[in-house]
């Protein structure tokens, strides 16, 4: 009976040691908090803002031309004749289609640009996380961003070390 009890206690100690060891292998970091702190993120955001402003100005110019022509054609509609009015109406519809197509293309280009700019930033953050985690001896690092699937993040938080690695204040 005593041997069984000692064996049972030894088994519990081994399991407890394994759990404690595994807990030390897991850390977490909030990636969605880290990324905006990186200087590259601000530069990418500024570049996207400039591109968005450029597209916005171009679309506004197109809309002004559309409105100007529309007002002119409307004022002259009574004296222009049916054939000219039909041609003008078709021209206005084509202008609407061009504006719509421009807006769609601008949105697609913005998405492509955002992806192209964010990819190297994410890669740099991931490399820094890997470097810090390996240096600290962690085998697993979980993203503690809300909605990422981590329910509890009581383990070590790597944010300070990764910010230091990326030279972020």
pLDDT at 77: 87
CATH T-level assignment (fold) for domain 2-165: Protein Binding, DinI Protein; Chain A (3.30.910)
pLDDT at 17: 44
pLDDT at 20: 46
pLDDT at 169: 80
pLDDT at 154: 67
pTM score? 0.70
88: nearest Cα among 67, 76, 73: 73
Q: How far is it, in rounded angstroms, from Cα 149 to Cα 143?
A: 8
Q: What is the DSSP string of 8-76?
A: HHHHHHHHHHHHHHHHHTEEEE-HHHHGGGSHHHHHHHHHHHHHHHHHHHHHHHHHHHHHHHHHHHHHH
pLDDT at 71: 94
List the chain domain ranges. Answer: 2-165
Burial of 162: CB neighbours in 10 Å, binned 0-12, 13-18, 19+ = buried
Instruction: Encode the chain (169 residues) as per-residue pLDDT tens digits.
Output: 555 555 454 445 455 444 444 556 889 999 999 999 999 999 999 999 999 999 999 999 999 999 999 999 999 988 888 999 999 999 999 999 999 999 999 999 999 999 999 999 999 999 999 999 889 888 888 998 888 766 556 678 888 999 999 999 8
pLDDT at 2: 57
């Amino acid at each position: 009976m005593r041997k069984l009890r000692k064996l049972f206690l030894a088994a519990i100690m081994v399991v407890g040691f394994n759990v404690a060891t595994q807990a030390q292998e897991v850390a977490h970091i909030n990636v969605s908090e880290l990324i905006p702190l990186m200087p590259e993120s601000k530069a990418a955001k500024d570049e996207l803002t400039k591109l968005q402003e450029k597209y916005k100005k171009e679309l506004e110019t197109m809309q002004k031309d559309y409105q100007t022509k529309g007002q002119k054609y409307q004022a002259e509609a009574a004296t222009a004749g049916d054939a000219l009015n039909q041609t003008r109406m078709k021209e206005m519809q084509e202008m609407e289609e061009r504006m719509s197509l421009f807006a769609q293309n601008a949105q697609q280009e913005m998405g492509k640009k955002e992806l192209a700019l964010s990819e190297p930033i994410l890669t740099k953050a991931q490399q820094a996380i890997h470097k810090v985690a390996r240096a600290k001896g962690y085998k697993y690092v979980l993203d503690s961003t809300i909605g990422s699937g981590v329910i509890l993040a009581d383990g070590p938080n790597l944010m300070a070390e990764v910010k230091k690695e990326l030279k972020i204040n």
